[in-house]
Amino acid sequence: MSLHTIEIDEKSVADEEALLSGVETREEGNTVVYTIGGKNFRLNKQQARERMAGKRVINGLRSAELNVLPLKYHEAYRIYKQMKANHWEPDVIDMTKDCTQWNSNQLSAKERWIIEMGVGYFSAAEGIVGDSVLHVIEDNLSAAELKHASLRHIAEESIHMDSLLHIIGSLNIEIDEVTAKFRDIPSIRRKNEFITRNMPELKMGIDLTQTVNKQKFAKALFGITQVMEGTQFYALFAMILSLHRQNKMTGIGQMFQYTLRDESNHIALGRYLIEQLVHENPDLWTPEFRSELVEFMREGVELEKAFVRDCLPEDTVGMSQAEFLDYVDYNADRRLAGLGLPTLSNVKTNPFVWLDEVIFLKKEKNFFETRVTEYQTSGSVKNSSEDDLI
């Protein structure tokens, strides 16, 4: 440090001391009074404490300014920062190699079918998640930092939709065929109907002071973040990333890597919201309701297995239908166990241990010579274990 710098620092300190010397403070009960230049400013500490005490997941104090202070739900804010640090844009991902493979005979009919099913399903599913988070979850949250995190969740669903448009446009896939997939294939239609069947009532607004309605909200949270995003997305992710692992459709694979990382944060946020909701509203966490959530997951698993059988009717290179069915059970049990709920299967190990390597993008740099785009800002929270990326 130079002498010049020291002089500037000392002058700044002196100026600050001179400025502060004209400020008087005194306490009057729960009020702090600042006197500056003949003016008094009264700050009510009791009201600040009441603001903190009034923060709740639902049924809490609401303010027009959406001010996160005082910050209460620190883990939600950490997840929000992680989501923000992981921001990515589909348009910069190079699809040249994918287009060459798609428009030649380099892919088998089974592999093309997996890509088509992925685009067809997610073109509807990502929209369902975004709409549900906006109108069912975020609308009913009252603490500002929870709303901020949910709004970031919604923004990421828009990025995922954009990535699908990038895929469809790059490969010149017939849009009518994409639309037909989620309307005409029974396993896709049943999955979408299953997850949305209870949403209309919640979108219209219900009295969340009643236990039964708190349970409906908790079930919606569970359904979107743990059943749909946490269980019903993962087998198809694994199929497409299996192709990526074989140096096939690497641009799409890269987008699905980033999407999978986003989903990990969505699952973590959803689980945290449920945990805090139950902590503040123990009346909703009855044995009957816990059993209802387990049965809801069981139904979701059966629908997902039917979908897996449609995506992969027969084993193909590097892909076994039985392993993907086990993977559905494995993920369902992880989501249930994460909330202290009974598990459904005997699948205790991940059948795709390589998938953890794919999720951790730092380890995948230059993977099959795909374009290096890490999409993580400097100073962001670094993930160090599967507990951070689930």
Concatenate the DSSP letters of all residues of 61-75 into one string.
---TT---PSP--HH
Given a cut of 70, is residue 360 above it in pLDDT? no
* pLDDT tens profile 235-257: 999 999 999 999 999 999 999 99
Classify 367 in phi/psi space as left (phi over 0), alpha (psi -120 to 50) or beta: beta
Better-scored residue on pLDDT, 70 or 117: 117
SS3 call for 155: helix
* pLDDT tens profile 81-128: 999 999 999 999 999 999 999 999 899 999 999 999 999 899 889 999
Better-scored residue on pLDDT, 13 or 64: 64
Q: In what order do the strands lie in the sheet with 23-28?
A: 23-28, 31-36, 39-44
Q: What is the share, in percent, of the chain residues with pLDDT greater than 70?
A: 85
CA angle, residues 300, 251, 381, in degrees to nearest 5: 70
Q: How far apart are CA 145 and CA 152, in angstroms?
A: 11
SS3 call for 35: strand
Helices assigned H by DSSP within 185-286: 186-196, 199-203, 211-222, 234-245, 250-280
Given a cut of 70, is residue 383 above it in pLDDT? no
Residue reference for tokens 């449609």: 310
CA angle, residues 340, 155, 191, in degrees to nearest 5: 55
pLDDT band at 376 (very low <50, low <70, confident <90, very high): low
Residue reference for tokens 């949270």: 221
* pLDDT tens profile 199-222: 888 888 889 999 999 999 999 999
Q: Are 81 and 265 in contact (CB under 8 A)?
A: no
Q: Of the given ranges (43-57, 206-220, 311-325), which has the lowest mean pLDDT?
A: 43-57
Q: Which CATH architecture has domain 73-369?
A: Orthogonal Bundle (1.10)
Given a cut of 80, is residue 378 above it in pLDDT? no
Amino acid, res. 5: T
Give me the residue spans of the domains in the chain: 3-49, 73-369
Structure-token pair, residue 168 = 């469809």
| Pairing of the two strands 23-28 and 39-44 | unpaired
Concatenate the DSSP letters of all residues of 220-249 into one string.
HHHIIIIIIIIIITHHHHHHHHHHHHTTSS
Predicted pLDDT at 365: 42
Predicted pLDDT at 361: 52
Predicted pLDDT at 74: 93
Q: Of the given ranges (31-45, 262-276, 296-310), which has the lowest mean pLDDT?
A: 31-45
Q: How far apart are CA 1 and CA 170, in angstroms?
A: 55
Predicted pLDDT at 359: 64
Q: Give the number of C-alpha atoms closer than 13 A to the C-alpha of residue 76, restricted to the C-beta side.
A: 26
Given a cut of 80, is residue 49 above it in pLDDT? no
* pLDDT tens profile 161-213: 999 999 999 999 888 878 877 778 899 999 999 999 888 888 888 899 999 99
**Mean pLDDT of all residues belonging to the chain:** 85
Measured CA to CA in angstroms, residue 341 lies from 18, 135, 282 at distances of: 61, 27, 15
Q: How far apart are CA 262 and CA 149, in angstroms?
A: 12
Q: Are 123 and 198 in contact (CB under 8 A)?
A: no
Concatenate the DSSP letters of all residues of 331-378 into one string.
HHHHHHHHTTPPP--S--S-S-THHHHHHSGGGGTTGGG--------T
CA angle, residues 315, 317, 320, in degrees to nearest 5: 35
* pLDDT tens profile 144-160: 999 999 999 999 999 99
Measured CA to CA in angstroms, residue 282 lies from 21, 32, 105 at distances of: 51, 37, 58
Predicted pLDDT at 65: 67
Q: How far apart are CA 305 and CA 319, in angstroms?
A: 15
Amino acid, res. 245: R
